[in-house]
Structure 1
Amino acid sequence: MQFHYSLDLQFFAGEKTEKATPKKRQDVRKKGQTAKSQDLITAFILLAVFFVLLFTGPKMLDQFFTIFHQTFEVYMHQDVTVNSISQIALELFQELLMLLAPVMIAALVGAVLANYLQVGFMFTPESLKVKLEKLDPIKGAKRIFSIRAIVELLKSLLKVSIIGGIVFAILWFNMNDLLGLMNIAIGSSFALIASITVKLGLFASGGLLFLSLFDYLYQKYDFEKSIRMSKQDIKEENKSMEGDPLIRSRIRQRQREMAMRRMMQEVPNADVVITNPTHYAIALKYDENKMDAPYVLAKGVDFIAQKIKLIAKEHDVIMVENRPLARGLYDQAEIGDAIPEEFFKAVAEILAYVYRVQKKI
C-alpha cells in the first residue's frame, strides 16, 4: 500500500500542471520557441502590399506600359550585339526594380511589424542549427498524424472556405464589369482588372487577418501548454539556481539593497544620531511601548554614515558628536537591538539633552 502511494505521488509530481517559470520562458525563447502565428504574418504582408497597390497602382500601371512601349518601339529596333543586349538587360532590370520596390518594401515592413508585435526583438542563432532528429521518419509520422496536424488541417479548410467565399462574393458583385471587358479598350481592361484584383486582395487579407487573430490565441494557448512544468521540474530549477554562484551573489546583493533601503527609511524616526563625527553614525530611538531601553534604528560607517547624517539633517533629527560612544555602539549593537547596558548612562544623558532642545524648539 505504501509502495502504491509513493508511486502516485511521483506520478502527480511529474505531471506538467504548473505554469512555466521566468527562467524556463527565457530558456525556450533563446531556442526560438515562442507563440507566433504564421497566418498573422501572411495577413500583414498581404495587407501592406495591397494597400501600397491601392495608392500606387495607377502609377505602376503607367510605368508598366512605358516599359512595354519602350521594349517594342526602342529596344526591338536596336542592333543585336553583346553590348546592346547587356545595356538593355541592365536598363530593364533597373526599371523593373523601381517598379516593384514599393511592393517589396511594403512586404518587408509588414513581415517585420507582424513578427515584432508577436515576439518583440529576438535573435536566436540556436534556432538556425541543423537538428538531425527532425529527419527521423518515425517522429515525422507522429507529427503528421498528431492532434496538432488535425487542427492545422481544420484551420486550412476554414481559411479556404472563408477566403474563397470572400473572393466569390467580390467576383459576383463585379460580374457585369468582368463580362464587359471585351467591349472596352485594352488599357481600360487592365485598369479594371487591377482595381478588382486590389479589392480582392484587401478583402481577402482582411478575412485572413480576422482568422489569424484566433490562430494567434490558439498558438499562444498551445505554446503555454507545451512549456508547462511539473512540481518536480520547478524544485530542480530552484535548486540549480540556488547553486549558481552568480544567482546567489545577485540574491545577496538584492537583500542588502532592500535592507539598506529599510534602514534609511527608519532614520527620520530617530530621536538622535550619534556621530564620530566623520566615520561613524548610529541612529537611536527610545519607545517605552516597544522596548525598555533605546534601540538602534540604523548604523553605518563612511559613505553610509554620511548618508544617515544627510537624511537626519533633512528631517531635523538632532546629531550629537561622541566618538567613543559612536564606535562602541557600532561594534556592540545590531540594528533593531536594544543598546548594551554599559551604554545606558551615556545615552540617557544624550537623550535628556535632546528632549530639552526639542522643548525649546
Structure 2
Amino acid sequence: MSDEAPEQDSKTEDPSQKKLDDAHKKGDVAKSQEVTTWFMLLGSAVVFAMLSPWVSSELGRSLALIIMNADQFDVEGAGFSNFFNGLAFAVIGVTTIPLVILMVCGILANLVQHRPVWSVDPITPKLSKISPLSGAKRLFSPDALVNFGKGLVKIALVGVIVVVVCWPERDRLETMVTVEPIMILLDFQEIGIKIFMAVLAVVTAIAAADFFYMRQKWWKRQMMTVQETREEYKQQEGDPHVKGRLRQLRQERSRKRMMAAVPDATVVITNPTHFAVALKYDKSMAAPICVAKGADAVAFRIRELAKENDVPIVENPPLARALFAAVDIDDTIPGEHFKAVAEVIGFVMRLKRSGGGWRPSA
C-alpha cells in the first residue's frame, strides 16, 4: 500500500490511446457491477411482469397432466427416461424465453460500459491469485471494504423497500390463503411489480454513482508518469536524436545525388552568389527540368561543379530567385517561366554553336 501510493501520485499524465488500447486488450476496462445488476433486475422485471402468467400457466398445465396421469407413467427402464425427458423439455420450453431475455440484458450491461472485449488475460492462471498473502491483501483492501459497504447498503435499501411496499398490502396478504390459487398469483404479481419498480428506482441511482466512481478509478489507474509518456513516445515515434540523425543522412544522400547531376546540366542560372539553379534540357523533353538547386554554400558548390565540368553559368538574379522558389528537384519548370528559360537556353546553345564551346567566367 505504501509503495503504491507514491507511484500513483507520480502518475500525472493522461493515458495515451495506446495505453488505453493495451488495457482493453488485457481485459482491463471500466466496469461497474451495479450497472450489470440494474440490467438483470430490469430483465427480471420484464419477465415477471409479462411472462410470469404464461410461464405459470404452462408449467401448471404440464404438472397437472403429470399428477392426473401419475398411475399411467412407466418409470422403469426406458419408460423412466422418456418420462424424465418429457418433463425436462416441458420446463425448458417455458424457461427459454426468460433465459434469453436475461442473457440479452447481461450482454447489454457490458456493451453500454465498454467495447466488446476478447481477452483470456483475466482468466489466465496466476500464482498471485492463489497466494494466501495476496488473497488476504485483496480481502482487506480498500476495494473490498467499499464493495462490502455497498452490499450492506443495498441489502438495507431493498429490505426497507420491501417493507414500505408490502406494509399497505398487509391486509391482502393475510387473506390470500382464503382465495383461489389463480387470484393468489395475480395478487402476487401485482405486489411483485411494485417491488421491482421501487427497487429499480433506487438501484438506478446506485448504478449511476457506482459507474462514475469505477470509471474514475479506472482512468486514474491508467494514468501515466512523465517517464512512461516519454518512453512510449520513443517507441512510437522513435528517439528524436535518432530521427534527427536519419533525417540528416537522408538530406546528405539527396544532396550527393543532386550534385552528381550537375555535370550533366545544360545551364546553371545564378543570383550570382546566393542562389544557383541547374537546368537540363534536350529535344526529347517537353520542358526543361531542375536537376539541382541551392543557396549560399550549396549554390557555391553547384557553381564550382559547373566550372569543373564546363557547364554554362548564366547570371540572371530575378530568374534564379524565381526558379529557386517555384521549382523542386526533378520537376519541370513552371509554365510562367518557359519564355525566360527558353531565352537563356537558346542563348547558351547559340554561343556554343558560334564559338565552338562554352567558356565559363572565372
Q: TM tier, shorter chain?
A: 0.5 to 0.7
From 293, 303, 328, the equivalent of 2:289 is 328
Secondary structure at the counterpart of residue 11 of structure 2: coil
Gap runs ≥5 in structure 1: 1-10, 253-292, 296-321, 353-361
Structure label with greater radius of gyration: 2
Q: Which stretches of structure 1, 4 residues or longer, exceed 6 Å deviation after superposition?
A: 11-14, 343-346
From 297, 320, 325, the equivalent of 1:337 is 325
Aligned to 1:215: 210
2:56 partner amino acid: L
Are the aligned partners of 1:43 and 1:209 in contact in 2 as well (CA < 8 Å)?
yes
Show CA shifts across 1:294-314 (max 9, x none). x9xxxxxxxxxxxxxxxxxxx
Residue 149 of structure 1, CA deviation: 2.1
Are the aligned partners of 2:59 and 2:90 in contact in 1 as well (CA < 8 Å)?
no
Aligned to 2:192: 197
Residue 325 of structure 1, CA deviation: 6.8
Secondary structure at the counterpart of residue 332 of structure 1: strand
Q: How does 1:62-211 map to 2 (within 5 A)?
A: 62-211=57-206
Higher relative contact order by CA 8 Å / sep ≥ 6: 1 or 2? 1
Residue 92 of structure 1, CA deviation: 0.8
2:133 partner amino acid: I
Q: Is residue 55 of structure 2 the alignment partner of residue 60 of structure 1?
A: yes
1:73 partner amino acid: M
Q: How does 1:1-80 map to 2 (within 5 A)?
A: 15-80=10-75
Residue 339 of structure 1, CA deviation: 4.8
Secondary structure at the counterpart of residue 325 of structure 2: coil
- Identical amino acids, percent of aligned pairs: 24
Residue 71 of structure 1, CA deviation: 1.5
Distance 1:327 1:108, change over 3 A: farther
Residue 140 of structure 1, CA deviation: 2.0
1:337 partner amino acid: A
Q: Is residue 242 of structure 2 the alignment partner of residue 230 of structure 1?
A: no
Residue 46 of structure 1, CA deviation: 1.9
Are the aligned partners of 1:20 and 1:227 in contact in 2 as well (CA < 8 Å)?
yes
Are the aligned partners of 2:43 and 2:101 in contact in 1 as well (CA < 8 Å)?
yes
Are the aligned partners of 1:333 and 1:339 in contact in 2 as well (CA < 8 Å)?
no
Alpha-carbon distance in 1 for matches of 2:8, 2:324? 42
Residue 349 of structure 1, CA deviation: 5.0
Alpha-carbon distance in 1 for matches of 2:132, 2:101? 39
CA RMSD of aligned residues (A): 3.5
Residue 324 of structure 1, CA deviation: 4.0
Q: Normalising by the residue count of structure 2, what TM-score does the alignment of the two structures yield?
A: 0.65
Alpha-carbon distance in 2 for matches of 1:345, 1:199? 82
Q: How does 1:191-340 map to 2 (within 5 A)?
A: 191-243=186-238, 324=285, 326-329=287-290, 331-332=291-292, 337-339=325-327
Gap runs ≥5 in structure 2: 1-5, 248-274, 278-282, 295-322, 342-362
Alpha-carbon distance in 2 for matches of 1:182, 1:81? 38
Residue 345 of structure 1, CA deviation: 12
Alpha-carbon distance in 2 for matches of 1:327, 1:344? 6
Residue 225 of structure 1, CA deviation: 1.1
